[in-house]
Every structure is written in structure tokens, then in C-alpha cells.
């Protein structure tokens, strides 16, 4: 049952309003039928029954059998009422076969005339009621309804239809009005999650939604201020660190050749420190200034793989056809470079790179190695900054590589999947939506 219900609050409210309106329309219809239509038909049947009783009032049973049918009625009575009496064998000739039998009318008329009665109704230039009375089952009485027409009920039907349509439209507009601020709030929250900070949302809607919107505006402003302060702080730290590092590098160049061993070690330490500073800055900035553009994912992968192959690394490549995606090229290159670097650093030598489509809606690429892998209970910790995973994978770097990868991929609307390979090693899959 839950699967049949809409998952969104807007859909559930709209469905609730429609169900309530349907119940209201059903109750209104039943009420009209019971208190308007049915009494009207009873009144019509009562009048018709009285006319039939008048036909047989002054005619004895013996006289009725000998008199011709038309002589049961006076000419004046026929002219005023339009009532006609036909023998059963002649009635089909005058339209009985075109008439439709109505059970509820027959039941009512049987009560009024005191015996089994059949009532049929035909639509000619006007409605004609055919009655087979219990007083003489061998005749059919045809009575026109001068003031009865289906157009009399057209305003009622039109009223019910218009009220139903207007109620549904009104309910839909009301639900849309209530949930439109929530929709804007959802879109703004997604933008904040991607590192974008929209303008303050307008305080529209109900008091509860206004309160939530006001709190969201304050939260978004606080997060933006925190991000700006952190970026400024990291930029200042990186600048202050690079200055003494530059002096150390200059001093190292002045060392004697006999101290080449120490010189090489100091230069390597300086390179590592510069790399760590670059990772810090990358993690903070997240390339928010870079705009997405239509690019080939396989082309970006191929460029990074070629750079690694040029350095003599053993890489197996299997790239399937993928349509172009809206990507941030610099960010995706950094993701691919980080993953290839991890595979080189922690893998067992060979690296496996592949790409393809999944469910025709998601593109993916995978970078795997044949190293020692990571215990399942520690995989989630890899996405935390400064966490380097299991000791079996080594302890080099700053521990920001996968944290940077995850943040970049999240900004592309994708996700990162890390699993241990059955053949040994670690597999990292990056899924990116086509839209």
C-alpha cells in the first residue's frame, strides 16, 4: 500500500485533497439523488398513477372488454393530457419497442396502482412513458411528459462537474503554494551542499516554513562565513610556510657536494611539504570557481593514464563508450590523478582502469590495484580528512587524497564506492549522473 502513495509531501497532500473532494462529490451526488431526484420521480409517478386511475374509474370490467380501446377515454381528456391507450398487439407499432424498461419506476408504479405494473420510457421529440397497468394487462397506456426533459438535470450535472474540477484545481494550487517554499529550500540546500551559497531565500509560506527558511538563511550565511574564514586562514598559512621553505631550499643549494645525501633528503622533504600545502589548499577551495562544461570522461581518463604510462607504470585500460557529461575538467583530473597516485603508492604494481555505463543513467569509471586492500570496517574512515587507512596500505601523504576525491565527486552529483577486490587489492568506483 505504501508503494502506491506518492513519496513527496506535495503528492501526498494533493492525493489527500483529491480523495476528500471525491468523497464530498459522492456524498453530494447521493444527497441530490435521495432528496431531489428520487422525490421528483415519485411525484411524477404519483401524477401518472392518478391519470391511469381516472382512465379506469368509470369503466366496469365487462364494459372494458367490449369497448374499443380509444373509447375508454373522452376526446377532451385525450386532448388535455395527450394520453393514449393501445392494445398490446398494436403498441409496438406506435413506439413501444423503442422504449426502455425501468425497474425502479415499475416498482413505484406497482405500489401506486396496487398490482404488477411495467413502466417503459422512450425518448422521441419528448419523453413518452409506457405503462402496462394491472387493471388491464392487455393494454399499454402512453403518456407524454410535457415538462420533463433531461435538460432539466443538465444544470445540476454541470454544477457538480464544475465544482469538482474547481475543487481539484484549487486543492492542487493550495498544495503547490504551501510546498513551493519547501521546493526552493531543497534546491538551496543542494546548492550549499555543492559549495554554492545562494542569495537569502524570501520568507514566504506558512509560519512554520517561514521559521525553517529563516533558520536556513542563518545557517547558510554562517557556513559561508566559516568557509571564507577557513580559506583565508589556509591561504595565509600556506603563504607563511612557503617563505621559510624557499629560504631552506636556497640554503640547501649552498651545501657542499660532500653533503649531497643531506641535501637530497632536505629537498625531498621540501617537495613533500609543498605537496601537502597544495592538498590543503585544494581541499579548502574545491575549485568552486571552475564552471562545468560538456566533456568526454574517457578523454580526461586517457590523458591522465598517458602521463602515468610515460613514467613507466603498468596500467591496463578498458574504456567503454560514454556520452559527454557536464564536468569540471580540472577537478576531475585531480580526482583521477589522486586515485592513480594511491594505486601506485599502495598497490602491488599493476593498475586497472575501466569505464562504462550503468542503467543508461549513470556513467562510471574504476581504478583498481592488486595491493593488500583494506578491512571493511575501516573503509568508511578513508573519507575522513587526515585518515590514511590501514597500516598495510602505508602511511605516506597528508591523508586528504580520498577526502578531496569525495568532495569533488559530490559536487558533480556523484558518489564514491570503495570495495576490496576478490582477487586482492582495492577497487575505487566513481559514479557520475548523465544529467
- pLDDT value of residue 157: 66
Q: What's the pLDDT band for 92 if we cut at 50, 70, 90?
A: confident
Judge whether 270 lies within some domain.
yes
Judge whether 412 lies within some domain.
yes
Q: Are residues 25 and 114 in the same domain?
A: yes
Q: Are residues 394 and 359 in the same domain?
A: yes
Judge whether 70 lies within some domain.
yes
Q: Are residues 243 and 126 in the same domain?
A: no
Q: Which CA distances in Å does 216 have to 186, 191, 197, 209? A: 10, 12, 11, 10
Q: Are residues 346 and 301 in the same domain?
A: yes
Judge whether 180 lies within some domain.
no
Return the SS3 of 144.
strand
Q: Residue 77 corresponds to which cell in the numbers above?
A: 381528456
Question: 125: which residues sit within 8 A by CB, 6+ positions away?
Answer: none
Q: Are residues 49 and 21 in the same domain?
A: yes
pTM over 0.75: no
Identity of the highest mean pLDDT range in 83-87, 202-206, 239-243: 83-87
Q: What's the pLDDT band for 106 if we cut at 50, 70, 90?
A: confident
Q: Are residues 331 and 347 in the same domain?
A: yes
Q: Residue 86 corresponds to which cell in the numbers above?
A: 393501445
- pLDDT value of residue 124: 76
| pLDDT exceeds 50 at position 66 | no
Lowest-confidence pick of 25-39, 79-93, 117-131: 25-39
Judge whether 162 lies within some domain.
no
Rounded CA gap, 341 and 375, in Å?
20
Q: Are residues 255 and 317 in the same domain?
A: no
Rounded CA gap, 145 and 162, in Å?
29
Q: Are residues 383 and 298 in the same domain?
A: yes
Q: Which parts of 58-102 fold into alpha helices (H)?
A: 61-66, 75-81
Per-residue pLDDT tens over the stretch 213-238: 888 888 888 888 877 777 777 667 77
Contact in structure between 195 and 285 (CB atoms under 8 Å): no
- pLDDT value of residue 211: 84
Query: Of 132, 155, 178, which residue sits at a domain end?
Result: 155
Judge whether 92 lies within some domain.
yes
Per-residue pLDDT tens over the stretch 352-390: 999 999 888 889 999 998 888 888 877 777 777 655 554
Q: Residue 122 corresponds to which cell in the numbers above?
A: 422512450
Q: What's the pLDDT band for 174 if we cut at 50, 70, 90?
A: confident
Could you tell me which of 298, 348, 335 has the C-alpha nearest to residue 412?
Answer: 335
The more confidently predicted of residues 35 and 386 is 35
Contact in structure between 187 and 197 (CB atoms under 8 Å): no
Q: Are residues 87 and 111 in the same domain?
A: yes
- pLDDT value of residue 217: 87
The mean of the pLDDT values for the chain is 76
Query: Which residue, chain included where needed, has cell 563508450?
Result: 321
How many domains does the chain divide into? 3
Q: Are residues 253 and 271 in the same domain?
A: yes
Rounded CA gap, 317 and 310, in Å?
14
- pLDDT value of residue 391: 44
- pLDDT value of residue 395: 47
- Give me the percent of the chain exceeding a pLDDT of 90: 2
Query: Of 97, 125, 155, which residue sits at a domain end?
Result: 155
Judge whether 314 lies within some domain.
yes
- Determine the distance from the C-alpha atom of residue 194 to the mean position of all C-alpha atoms in its chain, rounded to a whole number: 22
Rounded CA gap, 69 and 85, in Å?
6
Contact in structure between 404 and 283 (CB atoms under 8 Å): yes
Q: Encode burial over 300-319: b for 16+ CB neighbours within 10 A, e otherwise.
A: bbbebbeebeeeebebeeeb
What is the sign of the dihedral through the CA atoms of 407, 409, 415 and 418? negative
Q: CATH number for the domain including 231?
A: 1.10.287.130
- Across the range 114-139, mean pLDDT stands at 85
- What residue numbers bound the domain in which 117 lies? 2-155
Rounded CA gap, 303 and 118, in Å?
91
Q: Are residues 332 and 377 in the same domain?
A: yes
Return the SS3 of 202.
coil
Judge whether 78 lies within some domain.
yes
Per-residue pLDDT tens over the stretch 307-357: 877 777 788 888 999 888 888 888 888 888 888 888 888 776 788 999 999
| Residues in a beta bridge with 417 | 429
- φ, ψ at 359 (rounded to 5°): 65, 20
Q: What's the pLDDT band for 67 if we cut at 50, 70, 90?
A: very low
- State which H helix or E strand residue 373 sits in: none
Query: Of 259, 285, 311, which residue sits at a domain end?
Result: 285
Q: Are residues 303 and 363 in the same domain?
A: yes
Q: What's the pLDDT band for 190 if we cut at 50, 70, 90?
A: confident
Q: CATH number for the domain including 422?
A: 3.30.565.10
Amino acid at each position: 500500500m505504501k508503494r502506491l502513495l506518492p513519496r513527496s509531501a506535495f503528492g501526498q497532500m494533493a492525493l489527500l485533497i483529491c480523495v476528500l473532494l471525491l468523497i464530498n462529490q459522492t456524498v453530494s451526488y447521493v444527497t441530490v439523488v435521495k432528496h431531489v431526484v428520487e422525490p421528483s420521480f415519485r411525484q411524477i409517478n404519483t401524477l401518472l398513477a392518478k391519470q391511469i386511475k381516472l382512465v379506469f374509474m368509470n369503466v366496469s370490467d365487462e364494459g372494458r372488454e367490449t369497448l374499443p380501446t380509444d373509447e375508454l377515454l373522452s376526446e377532451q381528456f385525450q386532448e388535455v393530457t395527450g394520453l393514449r391507450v393501445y392494445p398490446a398487439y398494436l403498441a409496438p407499432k406506435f413506439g413501444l419497442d423503442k422504449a426502455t424498461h425501468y425497474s425502479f419506476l415499475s416498482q413505484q408504479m406497482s405500489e401506486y396502482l396496487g398490482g404488477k405494473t411495467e413502466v417503459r420510457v422512450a425518448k422521441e421529440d419528448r419523453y413518452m412513458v409506457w405503462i402496462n397497468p394491472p387493471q388491464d394487462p392487455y393494454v399499454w397506456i402512453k403518456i407524454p411528459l410535457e415538462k420533463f426533459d433531461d435538460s432539466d438535470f443538465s444544470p445540476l450535472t454541470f454544477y457538480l462537474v464544475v465544482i469538482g474540477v474547481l475543487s481539484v484545481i484549487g486543492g492542487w494550487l493550495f498544495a503547490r503554494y504551501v510546498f513551493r517554499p519547501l521546493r526552493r529550500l531543497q534546491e538551496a540546500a543542494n546548492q550549499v551542499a555543492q559549495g554554492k551559497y545562494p542569495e537569502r531565500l524570501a520568507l514566504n509560506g506558512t509560519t512554520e516554513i517561514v521559521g525553517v527558511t529563516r533558520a536556513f538563511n542563518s545557517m547558510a550565511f554562517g557556513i559561508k562565513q566559516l568557509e571564507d574564514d577557513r580559506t583565508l586562514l589556509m591561504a595565509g598559512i600556506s603563504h607563511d610556510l612557503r617563505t621559510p621553505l624557499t629560504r631552506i631550499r636556497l640554503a640547501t643549494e649552498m651545501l657542499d657536494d660532500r653533503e649531497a645525501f643531506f641535501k637530497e633528503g632536505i629537498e625531498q622533504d621540501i617537495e613533500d611539504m609543498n605537496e601537502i600545502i597544495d592538498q590543503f589548499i585544494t581541499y579548502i577551495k574545491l575549485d568552486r570557481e571552475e564552471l562545468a562544461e560538456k566533456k568526454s570522461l574517457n578523454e580526461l581518463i586517457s590523458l591522465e593514464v598517458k602521463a602515468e604510462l610515460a613514467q613507466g607504470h603498468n596500467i591496463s585500460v578498458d574504456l567503454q563508450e560514454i556520452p559527454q557529461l557536464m564536468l569540471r575538467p580540472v577537478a576531475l583530473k585531480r580526482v583521477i590523478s589522486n586515485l592513480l597516485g594511491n594505486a601506485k603508492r599502495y598497490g602491488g604494481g599493476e593498475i586497472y582502469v575501466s569505464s562504462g555505463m550503468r542503467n543508461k543513467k549513470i556513467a562510471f569509471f574504476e581504478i583498481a590495484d592488486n595491493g593488500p586492500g583494506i578491512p571493511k570496517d575501516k573503509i568508511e574512515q578513508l573519507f575522513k580528512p587526515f585518515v590514511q587507512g590501514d597500516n598495510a596500505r602505508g602511511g605516506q601523504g597528508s591523508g586528504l587524497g580520498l577526502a578531496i576525491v569525495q568532495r569533488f565527486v559530490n559536487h558533480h552529483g556523484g558518489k564514491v564506492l570503495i570495495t576490496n577486490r576478490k582477487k586482492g587489492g582495492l577497487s575505487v568506483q566513481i559514479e557520475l549522473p548523465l544529467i
